[in-house]
Amino acid sequence: MFESVGWGEILVLIVAGLFILGPERLPDAAAWVGKTMRKVREFANGARQQLRDEMGPDFDEFRKPLEDLRQLRNFDPRKAITNHLFDGDPDPLGLNGTSGGSSKPNGYPAAEAKPESTPLKPGEKPPIDPDAT
């Protein structure tokens, strides 16, 4: 129920409660909220257990669509498309492992290091690539 409430929100609620209720009544209010939340949780668990007892094995069949809907909350379209197109292969193009696994900031693999060329000696002709001319 309160899974998405972080520490920052809790701190804001405490400070707001301190201003609204004052330091004298804030501990009593916090204890009341804690007891109420505990009761609500017990009622929900009791209702779930009672429903499970009355429905028997059919309860899991009805619960499955709800679990599927809960998984849609964590749906990532980019990941779903990648998994669909590449059958879940994390490295579909085989780029991991090339050039020592290093990559440029844009994600492409870094070019392989070329051997250092030695300077031409006096009177030596440079190599010519006939395909490049």
Per-residue pLDDT of the chain (133 residues; tens, 9 = 90+): 556 778 899 889 888 888 888 888 888 888 998 999 999 999 999 998 888 888 887 777 877 887 877 777 777 788 778 777 777 666 666 666 554 455 555 656 556 656 677 888 888 888 887 787 6
What is the per-residue pLDDT for 74? 76
113 neighbors 120 (Cβ within 8 angstroms): no
What is the per-residue pLDDT for 90? 66
Distances (CA, A) of 24 to 21, 32, 92: 8, 14, 63
What is the per-residue pLDDT for 22? 86
**Position 43, amino acid:** F
Instruction: Report the sign of the C-alpha dihedral through residues 26, 30, 36, 37, in that order.
Output: positive
What is the per-residue pLDDT for 31? 92
Half-sphere exposure of 59 (CA within 13 A, CB side): 11
Residues whose CB falls within 8 Å of the CB of residue 29, separated by 6 or more in sequence, listed in order: 17, 21
What is the per-residue pLDDT for 44? 92
